[in-house]
């Protein structure tokens, strides 16, 4: 014990009366010394005990996986199972930062309308050739998910599945789970397809393995995709066919508004046929043409536009903001034609106490008292009508309102409006789309050709899309799933703590005798299905961060190549379909399709087995 520490533990006594206290202090010190010695002898076992408690907390779900991971990392640090230098060294790992950069790049593709435009093309194709479109959609989903985060891909595809169900007469519940499974499998085709792949690759590189290229896992991922598609077709009879109780044509995902587009007297669109306008698609649907007070609903595609025509459309909030910024139309409803369409856009809900309940929207008092323009009305379950001005006001109707700052302040003081605030919906930036596409393409090509690493390529691409305003900084940071990044950092710390405490070596020591006589190929199956089982119950990113160092250590102890085992871990930790919590997109379709938990189990268990056998067999043959 250090002299300065002894001075404080056993302080000198001037009158000899402190001897009893010194004896008590010595007893306490002996007790602490015993605990310290115990910690030194059983470091590895204590590390495993903390890990077991974390697994129990993960399964019970009383706290989020991120909270459990952070508390677990803190426990290792408090008990001295990981030193301060090791704890903070995880923040130098490039994998989580690369994941964050890819979130931003995906957000830029959404912000510029690129993904939305692709969705419009798919929907238009489905209306003409629904059966062929389903096959093309499967291929497109694989391609998109291979290079983009599959969560926004699934979010955009959910309403398309409802449209496909309408066009083909096929039950939507037979489409949503297969679409999600194909998106997940598509993410296993390239290194950047999922954050899990990047985490595993980053840890493997830190462990001294040769870095993975962007297409290093492609043959094995494609084997899983092929097996998965065949299995989904063959096992489609296991999927439910009853309609979702929530109803609707978009699974409750989109919030659509009724609005009107007004052709100005000096508009360049005068004389053009309505069907030739490029704005109509999945996000903007033409409902009617209002001319000289008369509304027409049919045979509008070949009708030429006149000055003063009003196009009655249904559109989501982003499409409305995009059309508004384009300047091709005046939009919405105002008491005077001279009321400008610019200014701040807010959202407001009609209170049940509003005096205009049951009256036409054109007669609502604030429209005549303030210089504002109502640019859209949303109503749960259906749209009002027959046009914007003629819509009868109901409680809980949501309005998009544009006006000056003074007018907006007056609306905020209106006791009959609820939740008045600036709209979070923003317009697409289609003119910047080519920059976002080029940036993502450059990341893929530069990393694939080993010109620069994927992390550096992604960060340079983020700088490009920010400086060119493909996405605003606050939107870029909002696109990053901070919960995922904290989870990754915390689990990296847990993995390092297990290594420093000797827990990894202890586990390998237990397993090694059991596998010493097993053929090398069996390890691939063991790692794949073990990671799959854990990921059905826990966060797949946490499982990946935890098992990667263990897998590499096991391979080294058995004298086998760790690369096939690490690839098996990558795919097995993501390709889990048997529970709604197995993967984050599973939960999205679970809610949108109004599925039961058993629906996932029924189709997911055989799908897990078929995909796993295909991936592992390919790894054994080619790895």
Task: Give a yes or no: residue 8 inside a domain.
Answer: yes
pLDDT (average), residues 403-419: 86
- Pick the last residue of a domain from 363, 387, 422: 422
Q: What is the pLDDT of residue 1?
A: 41
The token pair that represents 351 in the structure block: 């209170």
DSSP 8-state secondary structure symbol assigned to residue 362: G
Name the pLDDT band for 6 (thresholds 50, 70, 90): very low
As a whole number of angstroms, the distance between CA 103 and CA 67 comes to 22
Omega within 30 of 0 (cis) for the link into 386 = yes
Please say whether the beta carbons of 483 and 66 come within 8 A: yes
Q: What is the pLDDT of residue 83?
A: 86
For the chain, the average pLDDT equals 82
Q: How many CB atoms lie within 10 A of CB 223?
A: 23
Query: Cα-atom radius of gyration of the chain, to the nearest Å?
Result: 30
Percent of the chain surpassing pLDDT 70: 87
As a whole number of angstroms, the distance between CA 430 and CA 436 comes to 10
Name the pLDDT band for 251 (thresholds 50, 70, 90): very low
The token pair that represents 469 in the structure block: 């305003």
Beta bridge partners of 421: 347
Helix (H, G, I), strand (E, B) or coil at 330: strand
Residue-by-residue DSSP string for 274-311 = GGG-TT-SSSEEEEEEEETTEEE-SS-TTPBP-TT-EE
pLDDT (average), residues 40-56: 82
Q: How many CB atoms lie within 10 A of CB 424?
A: 9
Q: Where do we find the tokens 């393409």?
A: 441
As a whole number of angstroms, the distance between CA 184 and CA 140 comes to 13
Task: Give a yes or no: residue 402 inside a domain.
Answer: yes
DSSP 8-state secondary structure symbol assigned to residue 333: B
Q: How many CB atoms lie within 10 A of CB 394?
A: 15
Task: Give a yes or no: residue 3 inside a domain.
Answer: yes
| Residue of higher predicted confidence among 139 and 252 | 139
Beta bridge partners of 377: 258, 399
**Which are the contacts of 455, defined by CB distance < 8 A and separation ≥ 6?**
94, 95, 97, 98, 101
- Pick the last residue of a domain from 379, 398, 422: 422
Q: What is the pLDDT of residue 528?
A: 93
Task: Give a yes or no: residue 301 inside a domain.
Answer: yes
Number of domains in the chain: 2
pLDDT reading at 431 higher than 50 = yes
Which residues span the domain enclosing 9?
1-41
Report the residue count for the chain.
Answer: 623
Question: Which stretch of 248-252, 309-313, 428-432, 544-548 has the lowest confidence by average pLDDT?
Answer: 248-252
The token pair that represents 10 in the structure block: 């056993």
pLDDT in tens, 101-110: 878 887 888 8
Helix/strand/coil percent split, the chain, to 5 = 60, 10, 30
Please say whether the beta carbons of 465 and 434 come within 8 A: no
Task: Give a yes or no: residue 382 inside a domain.
Answer: yes
57-63: list long-range contacts, CB under 8 Å, 24+ apart: 58/537, 58/538, 58/539, 58/542, 59/537, 59/538
Q: What CATH number has the domain bearing residue 329?
A: 3.30.70.1450
**Which are the contacts of 73, defined by CB distance < 8 A and separation ≥ 6?**
82, 87, 490, 491, 493, 494, 497
Task: Give a yes or no: residue 344 inside a domain.
Answer: yes
- Pick the last residue of a domain from 365, 396, 422: 422
The conformational region for residue 327 under phi > 0 = left, psi -120 to 50 = alpha, else beta, is: left
Please say whether the beta carbons of 535 and 553 come within 8 A: no
Task: Give a yes or no: residue 81 inside a domain.
Answer: no
pLDDT in tens, 105-144: 878 888 888 877 777 777 677 777 777 778 888 888 898 8
Task: Give a yes or no: residue 88 inside a domain.
Answer: no
């Amino acid at each position: 014990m250090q002299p300065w520490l002894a001075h404080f533990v056993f302080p000198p006594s001037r009158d000899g009366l402190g001897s009893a206290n010194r004896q008590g202090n010595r007893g306490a010190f002996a007790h602490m010394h015993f605990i310290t010695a115990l910690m030194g002898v059983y470091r590895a076992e204590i590390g495993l005990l903390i890990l077991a408690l974390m697994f129990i907390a993960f399964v019970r779900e009383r706290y989020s996986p991120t909270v459990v991971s952070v508390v677990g990392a803190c426990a290792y640090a408090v008990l001295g199972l990981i030193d301060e230098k090791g704890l903070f060294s995880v923040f130098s790992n490039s994998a989580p930062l690369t994941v964050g950069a890819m979130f931003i790049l995906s957000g830029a593709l959404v912000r510029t309308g690129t993904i939305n435009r692709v969705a419009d093309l798919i929907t238009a194709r489905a209306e003409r050739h629904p059966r062929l479109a389903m096959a093309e959609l499967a291929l497109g989903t694989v391609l998109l998910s291979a290079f983009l985060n599959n969560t926004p891909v699934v979010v955009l595809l959910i309403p398309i599945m409802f449209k496909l169900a309408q066009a083909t007469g096929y039950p939507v519940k037979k489409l949503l789970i297969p679409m999600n499974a194909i998106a997940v499998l598509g993410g296993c085709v390239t290194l950047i397809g999922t954050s899990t792949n990047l985490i595993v690759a980053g840890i493997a590189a830190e462990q001294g393995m040769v870095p993975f290229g962007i297409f290093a896992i492609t043959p094995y991922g494609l084997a899983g995709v092929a097996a998965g598609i065949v299995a989904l077709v063959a096992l489609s009879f296991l999927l439910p066919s009853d309609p979702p109780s929530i109803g609707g044509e978009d699974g409750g995902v989109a919030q659509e508004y009724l609005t009107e587009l007004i052709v100005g007297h000096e508009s360049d669109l005068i004389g053009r046929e309505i069907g030739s306008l490029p704005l109509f698609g999945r996000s903007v649907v033409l409902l009617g043409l209002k001319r000289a007070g008369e509304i027409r609903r049919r045979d509008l595609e070949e009708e030429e536009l006149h000055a003063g025509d009003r196009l009655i459309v249904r559109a989501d909030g982003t499409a409305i903001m995009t059309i508004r910024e384009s300047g091709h139309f005046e939009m919405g409803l105002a008491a005077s034609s001279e009321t400008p369409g610019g200014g701040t856009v807010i959202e407001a809900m009609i209170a049940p106490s509003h005096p205009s309940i049951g009256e036409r929207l054109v007669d609502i008092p604030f429209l005549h008292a303030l210089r504002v323009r109502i640019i859209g009305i949303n109503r749960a379950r259906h749209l009002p009508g027959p046009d914007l001005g003629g819509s009868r006001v109901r409680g809980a109707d949501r309005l998009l309102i544009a006006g000056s700052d003074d007018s907006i302040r007056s609306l905020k003081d209106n006791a009959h409006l609820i939740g008045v605030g600036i709209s979070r919906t923003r317009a697409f930036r289609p003119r910047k789309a080519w920059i976002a596409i080029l940036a993502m393409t450059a990341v893929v090509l530069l990393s694939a050709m080993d010109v620069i690493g994927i992390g550096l390529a992604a960060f340079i691409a983020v700088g490009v899309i920010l400086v060119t305003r493909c996405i605003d900084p606050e939107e870029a940071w909002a696109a990053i799933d901070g919960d995922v990044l904290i989870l990754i950092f915390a689990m990296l710390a847990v993995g390092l703590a297990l290594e420093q405490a000797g827990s990894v070596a202890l586990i390998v020591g237990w397993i090694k005798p059991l596998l010493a006589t097993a053929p090398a190929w069996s390890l691939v199956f063991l790692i794949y299905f073990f990671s799959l089982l854990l990921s059905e119950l826990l966060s797949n990113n946490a499982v990946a961060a935890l098992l990667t160092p263990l897998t590499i250590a096991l391979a080294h102890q058995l004298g086998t190549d760790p690369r096939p085992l690490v690839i098996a871990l990558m795919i097995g930790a993501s390709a889990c379909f048997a529970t709604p919590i197995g993967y984050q997109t599973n939960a999205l379709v679970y809610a949108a399709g109004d599925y039961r938990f058993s629906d996932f189990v029924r189709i997911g268990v055989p799908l897990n087995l078929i995909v796993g056998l295909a991936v592992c067999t390919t790894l054994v043959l080619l790895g």
